[in-house]
Amino acid sequence: MSHRVELMTGEALKRGIPHLARLRIDVFREWPYLYDGNFDYEQWYLSKFADSPGAVIVAAYDGDEIIGASTAAPLAAQHEDFITPFRQQGIDPERVFYFGESVLKPAYRGAGLGVAFFVHREARARAHGGITHTGFCAVLRPDDHPLKPAQYVPLDEFWRRRGYQAVKGMTGPFHWKDIDQPGETEKTMQFWVKRIASPA
């Protein structure tokens, strides 16, 4: 399988937004997010992300086709819903690089691209300067949810191998429309954190 991973920043990042919007809609429609996405909203959401200083997309390609992508940016420029859980844990938002979505087409999973997304984003965090932590959040779903696939394997162990820990009590409420629901409902997101440096 021939693929490569590249960083997108600045104008290249903005040009990549439509591709990432489509990937988000397709991949997040799967379990456990079940997200009933809207392309116009996705482009607006990602454009706001792209405008934050230090933002980056790590894009995976097969030839000229983008088959996966992962985002990261300094936490302090993100929405307060993402900042608050870190502040409540006594972690200075100015010292956090926040990892957004990682989306990858099913045919390319298990080939090491997920690891590459973390490696490139952590390198970006270290290069930014003054960063002591990286982190992200993931949705919590009940085990008895009717749409949970029987063979589903959560990513928890993969994240732990990358050095991340789910911080007990570090959660936040987020809202979106599930594919089987008539409107938006509240979900609980668990935050995962890794220390990558000590304070200067």
What is the domain extent for residue 120? Answer: 4-195
Q: What is the mean pLDDT of residues 161-165?
A: 98
At residue 115 the predicted structure's pLDDT band, cuts being 50, 70 and 90, is very high
- Kind of pairing between the strands at 96-104 and 133-140: parallel
Higher pLDDT, 50 or 83: 83
Q: What is the mean pLDDT of residues 164-192?
A: 97
Residue 97: predicted pLDDT: 98
C-alpha distances (whole Å) from 179 to each of 34, 91, 183, 191, 200 are: 6, 35, 9, 24, 46
Which of 49-53, 78-82, 122-126, 185-189 is predicted with the least confidence, judged by mean pLDDT? Answer: 49-53
Q: What is the mean pLDDT of residues 108-123?
A: 95
Residue 200: predicted pLDDT: 65
> Which strands, in side-by-side order, build the sheet including 56-62?
4-8, 56-62, 65-74, 96-104, 133-140, 184-195, 165-177
Residue 1: predicted pLDDT: 54
Is 177 domain-assigned? Answer: yes
pTM of the full predicted structure? 0.94
Domain total in the chain: 1
Is 18 domain-assigned? Answer: yes
3-state secondary structure the chain: CCCEEEEECHHHHHHHHHHHHHHHHHHCCCCCCCECCCHHHHHHHHHHHHCCCCCEEEEEEECCEEEEEEEEEEHHHCCHHHHHHHHHCCCCHHHEEEEEEEEECHHHCCCCHHHHHHHHHHHHHHHHCCCCEEEEEEEECCCCCCCCCCCCCCCHHHHHHCCCEEEEEEEEEEEEEECCCCCEEEEEEEEEEEECCCCC
Residue 81: predicted pLDDT: 93
152: pLDDT strictly greater than 90: yes
Residue 31: predicted pLDDT: 97
What 92-95 contacts at long range (C-beta under 8 Å, 24+ apart), as own/partner pairs, is 92/132, 94/130, 95/130, 95/131, 95/132, 95/133, 95/199
Residue 15: predicted pLDDT: 86
Instruction: Output the domain CATH number for residue 169.
Output: 3.40.630.30
Is 115 domain-assigned? Answer: yes
Is 200 domain-assigned? Answer: no
Is 41 domain-assigned? Answer: yes
Is 100 domain-assigned? Answer: yes
Nearest CA to 171 out of 186, 184, 157, 181 is that of 186
